[in-house]
Amino acid sequence: MTKQQANWSPYDNNGGTCVAIAGSDYCVIASDTRMSTGYSILTRDYSKIIQLADKSVMASSGFQADVRALQKVLSARHLLYQHQHNKQMSCPAMAQLLSNTLYYKRFFPYYSFNVLGGLDHEGKGCVYTYDAVGSYERVGYSSQGSGSTLITPFLDNQLKSPSPLLLPAKDAVTPLSETEAIDLVRTCFVSATERDIYTGDKLEIVVLNASGIRREYMELRKD
Amino acid sequence: MSPNDFKTGQDAKHWAEDPRVRDEHRERERERERGDTYKFVESIHFCCTIKFTMFRNQYDTDVTTWSPAGRLFQVEYAMEAVKQGSAAIGLRSKTHVVLACVNKANSELSSHQKKIFKVDDHIGVAIAGLTADGRVLSRYMRNECINYSYTYESPLPVGRLVVQLADKAQVCTQRSWKRPYGVGLLVGGLDESGAHLYYNCPSGNYFEYQAFAIGSRSQAAKTYLERKFESFVDSSRENLIKDALFALRETLQGEKLTSSICTISIVGVGEAFHTLDQETVQGLINEFEVVGEEPPADEAAPPEQGAGTEAALAPAAPAAAAADEGAPADQGVAPMDI
C-alpha cells in the first residue's frame, strides 16, 4: 500500500523575477512583466509591483493568485492602520506586517517570493527580502524569482562590500547614484532574460525617493 | 454527596432525568423568578410614591418595555441625547456633499472632540451626541467599507452602509441587555448613483436628505437650510461650502464664527473625502463674510477681542494672521485628534 499522492496541486508558478536596490536616498524596485505557466506565456504585460504605502513598494514573484491575495490583504490592513493612526505606515512597519501575514499562513503558505523596497524613517533606501513563510531581513539589495539565481551573483559582484570579513556594514545601502542603480538593474534583467525562459517581455522599474514615486519601462527580449 | 455525584460519561444521567436534581433545579428557577417579580413590584412602588413631573412613567426602565401608547421611551431618550450634542450640518448637491460641525472644546486647555470621521475615500460621517458611541460606529463603518472593497474591488454604496448601520442600531432597541446608541449620524457620500446625505437615528431609522442639521440649536440651521435647499442641487462646490458656513453660523446664535470652532469636510466627484484645514476655512469665512453680527468696522476701530475681528473687511492676507492666532493653540491638537 503506497502512500496516496495528490492528483492536483493548489499552487502554480507563474515565473518572473524581481529585484530591489537600496540607495542613500532612493530605492529602486524592478520586475519583469511576463506571466507564464509551464512552458506557455499567459501574458506579456502583467505588473508584479504594487505600492502599498507612500514609502513602501512590494514586488513579488511566484504564484500570482497568491500574490494578488497577499497584496489585497496588505492594502486592507494598511487602510485600517491609516484610520487608526492617522498616518501612513512606515516601510519597516510594513516589512513586519508582511512577515506576520506570511507566517500567518505557515501551514498553507502564500506561494509568493517578495521583495519590499522603500524609504526608512531617515529617508534612506531600504530593501527587505522574504521567503514564502515570512522570514525576512533588511538588506542593501535583493533578487527573487526564477531569474534570481542569475542576478544575485551579479549583484553580489557589483554591490557587496569589498571585504566579506568585515561585519555587515550598518549602512546596508549602496553608494551608487540613482541613475547608476537604474542602469545596473537594466543590465541585470537584460542578462537574466537571455538565459531564463520565464523572464522577459518588458521591465517595469519603480523608483522611490524624497520627491515621490516614478515608474519606467524598458523592452526586453520576447523569446 | 453520593457516589452518583461523581459519575461522569456514560453513567451520569442528564440532570433532567435525575428526579432529585430536576426538583432542585425547578426550585431554584422559581426562586429566581420570584426575586425578579419582587424587584419589579418594588420599583413600581418606588415610582408611584415619588412623583416627578419630568419622570414620565414606569415604562421607561427597559428598552424592551412598550408603553401603553406604543412608544419605547428608552429609544426616545436616546434621541434626546443627540439633541444635546453640538451641532452638525450636512448638505448635498448633485456632485458634492459637505459636512460641517461646531467643535467647541470643553475648556481652553483641552483639545476639541473629533466629530467628523472619514469612513472611506467616498464616505464621511458627522456625529452629534455621545461621541464615544459615534467613534465606535465609525470604526464599524470603516471595517464594512474595507471588507466590501476587499471582496468586490469597488466602493461600498452609501445606501447599503446606512442600512447596515440602521440594522445595527435596531438590534440595540430589542435586547434587554443593551442600550440604544446615543448618537445621530449624518452620513455623506458619493457612489454610482450620485451624491447622498443620510441621517441615522438611534432608533434604527434612516432618512435621506438634501440638507439637514442635528444637535443643539440645529433648528436655526434647519430654518436657514429650508429656505435655501432648493438651490443646493445645482450648487457649485464653493457655494455649497458657503451655505454650510452660513448654516453653521445660525447655530452659534450670535457668537463669532472662526475656523477654530468649526470643522468642514467635503467629498465630491473626483475629490476624496477630506477635512479642510483651518487656514482654508478661515479664508472662506472671510471671503464669504460669514463672521457674525458685527457692523462693518472702520479700519481705525481697533479690534476688541484678540482674534481676527478685522476679518469682515479684509481679504485673504489677514486671514493667515487670524489663522495663526488659532494655530498655535491648536498645533498640539492634531496628533491627539484621532
Give yes or no for residue B328 having a pLDDT over 50.
no
**If we measure between CA atoms, which residue out of B189, B212, B190 comes closest to residue B201?**
B212
3-state secondary structure of B15: coil
- Does residue B20 register a pLDDT over 90? no
Identity of the residue in B150, B337, B338 whose CB atom sits nearest the CB atom of A72: B150
Q: Which domains does chain A have, with CATH numbers?
A: 17-219 (3.60.20.10)
Q: Where in chain B is the domain with CATH 3.60.20.10?
A: 85-331
Cβ distance of A76 and B338 shorter than 8 Å: no
Q: Classify strands A56-62 and A49-53 as parallel, antiparallel or unpaired.
A: antiparallel
Chain segment B47-68, per-residue pLDDT in tens: 444 444 455 678 889 899 999 9
pLDDT at A116: 97
Residues of A in contact with B142 (CB under 8 A): 79-80, 83
Q: Which residues make Cβ contacts (< 8 Å) with residue A182, sequence separation at least 6? A: A28, A205, A207, A216
**pLDDT greater than 70 at residue A17:** yes
Q: Quote the pLDDT of residue B253.
A: 86
Residue range A185-217, pLDDT digits in tens = 999 999 999 999 999 999 999 999 999 999 999
Q: Please report where in the chains the cell 494655530 appears, as a residue.
A: B327
Residue B337 with chain A: CB contacts under 8 Å: 86
Q: What is the mean pLDDT of chain A?
A: 93
pLDDT of residue B163: 97
Kindly indicate the confidence band of residue A175, based on its pLDDT and cuts at 50, 70 and 90: confident
Interface test with A, best of B140, B141, B145, B146 (most A CBs within 10 A): B146
Rounded CA separation B238/B227 (Å): 18
DSSP state of B5: G
How far is it, in rounded angstroms, from Cα A61 to Cα B106?
54
Closest residue of chain A to B136, computed from CA coordinates: A84
Q: Does domain B85-331 have CATH number 3.60.20.10?
A: yes
pTM over 0.90? The answer is no
Mean pLDDT, residues B99-125 taken together: 90
- For the cut 80, the answer to whether the pLDDT of residue B1 exceeds it is no
**Chain centre to alpha carbon of residue B40:** 34
